[in-house]
Chains A and B, each alone.
Chain A
Amino acid sequence: MKRKVKIIKIDLDKCMGCRACEVACAAFHSNPKYASVNPARSRIQVFRNELKNVFVPVKGSFYTAAECAGRPLYMIGEKMQSGYEYGESVCSFCGAACPSRDLFKEPDSGLPIKCDMCETEPPLDEPMCVKWCLVDALTYEEREEEVEEEVKLEELDIGIQVMVDKYGLEKVLDTVARMTQKEE
């Protein structure tokens, strides 16, 4: 089966951290459209450190209830420069709406926000952040990818499958049976 994949290509050598993508995104997703701007609501965030020549746009991706273990530290521009360590006080270059920080969350409600590639009616030629990036750090591509047809599992199925994988089918069945008895 073929599926269309939307891609925002990010060229780190071209990004210079002006945050026009944040402006465009925040304006586009406000309600009514363009009625307000607040980069904190943008679904793309630029991690920037001017003195270290670090400018990394990151798209909001997924919500997670728990933060990850440890913390990554990036070395950037090692070949061109002296090699910078880059790590924000919490963590870097991650698109997750995660309890460790305020990024990719609505500033008022704290609800997670993520990039929707500007799905809208009528459809845009390219996402807003790409359109406003005149230096071409962000470019848009559509690719066709071959994907295996898969049977989508229901949410409960996934949960139970995890339990089965971990404890074995028999133990899970026993537990369910015991719980059923208790309820009666």
Chain B
Amino acid sequence: MRYAETGYYLEVDLSTGNIERVESDPQMTEQYLGGLGTNAKLMWDRVPADTDAFSPDNLLIFSSGLLCSTPAPSANRTIITSISPQNSLFGFSMMGGYWSPELKYAGYDKVIVRGKSPDWVYLWINNDKMEIRDARHLQGKSTYETAEAIRSELKEPRAQVISIGLAGENRVYFASVETHRGSSSRLGLGAVMGDKKLKAIAVRGTKDINIAKPAEFLEECNKVLDYIQYRLNYPIPGVPPILAYIGSPQEMALHDEQWHLDSFAWGHARKRRKGFWNKEVEKQWADAMETYKKCLISCYNCPVRCAGIVEVPGYPTYILKCFTKLTYVMAAEVDDLDFGFQILSKAQHYGVDGFTAPQVMAFAIELYENGILTDSDMPGFPKDKKERFHWLLDKIVRREGIGEVLADGVYWAARKIGKGAEAFDHNTIRKHEQVPIKLGMLNPIYYILWSTGEKVNITQIEGQIPQMPMEKHIREEFVKDWIQIPTGKEERFKQFILEWGDEGKNFPFWPPPDLIAELVEWQETMHYIDDSFGLCAGVSSFPIKPPYHIHNLPLFMAYGTGIDMDEEKLWNAALRIRNLIRSYNITRGLKREDETPPQDHWKKRFPEYEQKLMDEYYKYRGWDLRGVPTKETLQKLNLDYVYEDFVKRGIHKEE
């Protein structure tokens, strides 16, 4: 018997209509944990490096995580993996909600989809019964409408549904996969789902998930619940409210938006508006939120309540989470939050990425204002800021007119439009739109995080440490109960907090490169564990002092699965996954030149120093100066097969 996991994948070939239940290899769990980790291994094994995102050979993997469906609080993430249509690299995309626990209760850890359906279909998984069903009548329906329609026609209100909207159907490069409570948005995997003509997957499961060491496992769960409660009651002093709590972050609960509005850039990631946030704005915005927000809700088995049900008159209801509350408002340079709530309804029903879509639209407006796009390119383009965003969004998700070009995202649109549009592509990394943040002094820790993160998405890489030096008088207090630090690093990391901000202990030339590398590795590694366990970063890798950390996570795995696990083994498994994904991207053409933040991310840049930092970081990670994992690194992580492949491709020379 398998514990914590079901031990089965569902293999679906949409070209032939064949569905098979396949037993997974228990060795995989030990080496690659589950979720993202095992997805990565499947991609490496089965999707060759030259496969196009829209090839029938591209896999689209919908995975639960190793701890999903166990009693572990907040283990509910769905991890979707495929080749991204936007940058042709390994596509990370994840979401919370209720879908992946349901999948495991139905008896499957993953649904692996290949091929392409000749016409629109959806998948219905009801325990042992699987069906590919006609979805032609659902074409054009929104993400939420699709889910409701399917539940209703199956007469199964307890079915959990993930679906795509118009954007996914029309293969918009930043289309999301949506489930009411969650959005899997980054890197356009909704477009891959659309390309396969898979409108939705509905699941209902009523089977058991077994726990290897039940009493021990439950005790750890109770400790986590206690700590969640403690952290909700005692926010961390001395950091902005948005970073003081746990969650993803608490955008729907908190009204104080000074942190985001002062430090993030408006428009097409261009300018900061310091001083915009004042008492009057705060009151208006608080009123808007309290008017439209009906209720705060959580994902499956989680008490943290990061999302809000939003109901705006004249717009269909939706569920809002995280920073998208601000992304449209800021990109459109609109001062009222009402607009944000309105356009988000459309955006989530269409199914688009709330980070990328506003950037693309702001980019289009910039081109228009600079005469690169004209009224002949955009006949009927409105004058009003808000109307412009609605207009552009409607065009993009239908790929109509200028929308056809913009639907590929800033990088490709800039190159297709030409006429100097390329110069306006200033906020992408690896062809992917970034959080709109433009700062002054180079932050060497974030420099490495932004540049080298395989996910190309800072919020899924960062965490654990405060983002600014703490005031001197609270530093001692802060490090006193900082139990989350990995074994052996306690002194160094605590010392970092205690000194940071003192004379000579400031960015950019401090901390030393080796400490930067260690801090980056810690932040990133915790995310890789979460993504494999199916744990929400909001209670684990993202916040400061999270309930889950490197000391209790191995216990969850050991007690849950019965597999022998400790801190070192778990850390190494995460490194294995991290290096495998990097290696996979290298076979798909990733180069050191691609590892750079947007040029204007910081005003003050230090090219030589940055290169030195990068060299040191690569060295620390066991990568050569090209950023390629060395033979020793690969062999140490049991990735000999990667090394052999690298030799075959000429990436490494045989020794």
Q: Which positions in A face B, CB cutoff 8 Å? A: 16-20, 23-24, 27, 30, 32-41, 49-53, 55, 80-81, 88-90, 102, 107, 132-135
Inter-subunit contact B210/A81 (CB<8 Å):
no
Nearest to B232 among chain A residues (CB) is: A134
Q: How far is the CA of A107 from the CA of B209 in the complex (A)?
A: 13
Q: Tell me which residues across on chain B come within 8 A of A32, comparing CB atoms.
A: 214
Report the minimum CB–CB distance from A135 to chain B (whole Å). Answer: 6
B71 in complex: contacting residue of A23, A49, A50, CB < 8 Å: A23
Query: What secondary structure prevails in chain B residues at the interface with A?
Result: loop
B208 in complex: contacting residue of A19, A37, A49, CB < 8 Å: A37
Q: Tell me which residues across on chain A come within 8 A of B181, comparing CB atoms.
A: 50
Looking at B277-285, B294-302, B415-423, B449-457, the stretch in contact with chain A turns out to be B294-302
Nearest to A16 among chain B residues (CB) is: B297
Inter-subunit contact B210/A35 (CB<8 Å):
yes
Question: Are A16 and B225 CB-contacts (below 8 A) given A36-B211, A38-B105, A40-B206?
Answer: no
Nearest to B294 among chain A residues (CB) is: A53
Q: How far is the CA of A88 from the CA of B180 in the complex (A)?
A: 18
Q: Which residues between 214 and 268 of chain B lie within 8 Å of chain A, taking CB atoms?
A: 214-215, 217-218, 225, 228-229
Nearest to B97 among chain A residues (CB) is: A50
Nearest to B219 among chain A residues (CB) is: A34
Question: Are A34 and B148 CB-contacts (below 8 A) given A51-B317, A53-B295?
Answer: no
Nearest to A136 among chain B residues (CB) is: B303
| Chain B window 576-594, contacts with chain A (Cβ cutoff 8 Å), 1 for yes, 0 for no | 0000000000000000000
Q: Tell me which residues across on chain A come within 8 A of B311, comparing CB atoms.
A: 81
Inter-subunit contact A34/B211 (CB<8 Å):
yes
Check if B554 is an interface residue, CB within 8 A of chain A. Answer: no
Inter-subunit contact B180/A36 (CB<8 Å):
no
Q: How far is the CA of A88 from the CA of B151 in the complex (A)?
A: 10
Check if B15 is an interface residue, CB within 8 A of chain A. Answer: no
Inter-subunit contact B301/A30 (CB<8 Å):
no
Q: Tell me which residues across on chain B come within 8 A of A52, comparing CB atoms.
A: 317
B214 in complex: contacting residue of A35, A89, A107, CB < 8 Å: A35
Nearest to A32 among chain B residues (CB) is: B214
Report the minimum CB–CB distance from B524 to chain A (whole Å). Answer: 29
Question: Are A24 and B296 CB-contacts (below 8 A) given A50-B319, A135-B305?
Answer: no
Question: Are A107 and B207 CB-contacts (below 8 A) given A88-B157, A132-B225?
Answer: yes
Q: Tell me which residues across on chain A come within 8 A of B206, comparing CB atoms.
A: 38, 40, 102, 107
Nearest to B298 among chain A residues (CB) is: A18
Q: Which residues between 145 and 165 of chain B lie within 8 Å of chain A, taking CB atoms?
A: 148, 152, 155-157
Q: How far is the CA of A41 from the CA of B228 in the complex (A)?
A: 26
Check if B144 is an interface residue, CB within 8 A of chain A. Answer: yes
A33 in complex: contacting residue of B70, B73, B215, B296, CB < 8 Å: B215
Q: Tell me which residues across on chain B come within 8 A of A40, comparing CB atoms.
A: 105, 205-207
Inter-subunit contact A23/B105 (CB<8 Å):
no
Report the minimum CB–CB distance from A43 to chain B (whole Å). Answer: 14
Inter-subunit contact A33/B317 (CB<8 Å):
no
Question: Are A16 and B214 CB-contacts (below 8 A) given A89-B155, A107-B207, A134-B303?
Answer: no
Question: Are A36 and B209 CB-contacts (below 8 A) given A16-B297, A89-B152?
Answer: yes
Inter-subunit contact A19/B294 (CB<8 Å):
no
Report the minimum CB–CB distance from A113 to chain B (whole Å). Answer: 13
Q: Tell me which residues across on chain B come within 8 A of A89, comparing CB atoms.
A: 152, 155-157
Question: Are A51 and B73 CB-contacts (below 8 A) given A30-B208, A37-B208, A40-B105?
Answer: no
Nearest to B319 among chain A residues (CB) is: A50
Q: How far is the CA of A35 from the CA of B180 in the complex (A)?
A: 30
Q: Which residues between 69 and 106 of chain B lie within 8 Å of chain A, taking CB atoms?
A: 69-71, 73, 98, 105
Report the minimum CB–CB distance from B616 to chain A (whole Å). Answer: 44
- Size bracket of the B interface: 35 or more
Nearest to B204 among chain A residues (CB) is: A40
Cβ-closest 9 pairs across A and B: A34-B214, A40-B206, A134-B303, A36-B208, A107-B206, A16-B297, A18-B298, A89-B155, A38-B208
Query: What secondary structure prevails in chain A residues at the interface with B?
Result: loop
Nearest to A13 among chain B residues (CB) is: B295
Q: How far is the CA of A107 from the CA of B210 in the complex (A)?
A: 16
Check if B439 is an interface residue, CB within 8 A of chain A. Answer: no
Nearest to B70 among chain A residues (CB) is: A37
Q: Which residues between 125 and 152 of chain B lie within 8 Å of chain A, taking CB atoms?
A: 144, 148, 152
Q: How far is the CA of A20 from the CA of B69 in the complex (A)?
A: 11
Q: How far is the CA of A50 from the CA of B229 in the complex (A)?
A: 24
Check if B309 is an interface residue, CB within 8 A of chain A. Answer: yes
A-B residue pairs in contact (CB < 8 Å), sample of 27: A16-B296, A16-B297, A18-B298, A18-B302, A19-B300, A23-B301, A24-B71, A27-B71, A27-B211, A30-B214, A32-B214, A33-B215, A34-B211, A34-B214, A35-B211, A37-B70, A38-B207, A38-B208, A39-B105, A41-B208, A50-B180, A50-B297, A50-B309, A51-B144, A51-B180, A55-B297, A89-B156
Inter-subunit contact B69/A37 (CB<8 Å):
yes
Nearest to A22 among chain B residues (CB) is: B301
Q: How far is the CA of A89 from the CA of B209 in the complex (A)?
A: 28
Question: Are A16 and B305 CB-contacts (below 8 A) given A53-B295, A134-B225?
Answer: yes
Report the minimum CB–CB distance from A36 to chain B (whole Å). Answer: 4
Nearest to B148 among chain A residues (CB) is: A51
Inter-subunit contact B294/A134 (CB<8 Å):
no
Q: How far is the CA of A32 from the CA of B213 in the complex (A)?
A: 10
Q: Tell me which residues across on chain B come within 8 A of A17, comparing CB atoms.
A: 297-298
Question: Are A53 and B309 CB-contacts (below 8 A) given A34-B71, A34-B217?
Answer: yes
Report the minimum CB–CB distance from A158 to chain B (whole Å). Answer: 35
B298 in complex: contacting residue of A16, A33, A49, A88, CB < 8 Å: A16
A81 in complex: contacting residue of B71, B98, B294, CB < 8 Å: B294
Inter-subunit contact A37/B71 (CB<8 Å):
yes
Inter-subunit contact B218/A34 (CB<8 Å):
yes
Nearest to B157 among chain A residues (CB) is: A88
Report the minimum CB–CB distance from A139 to chain B (whole Å). Answer: 14
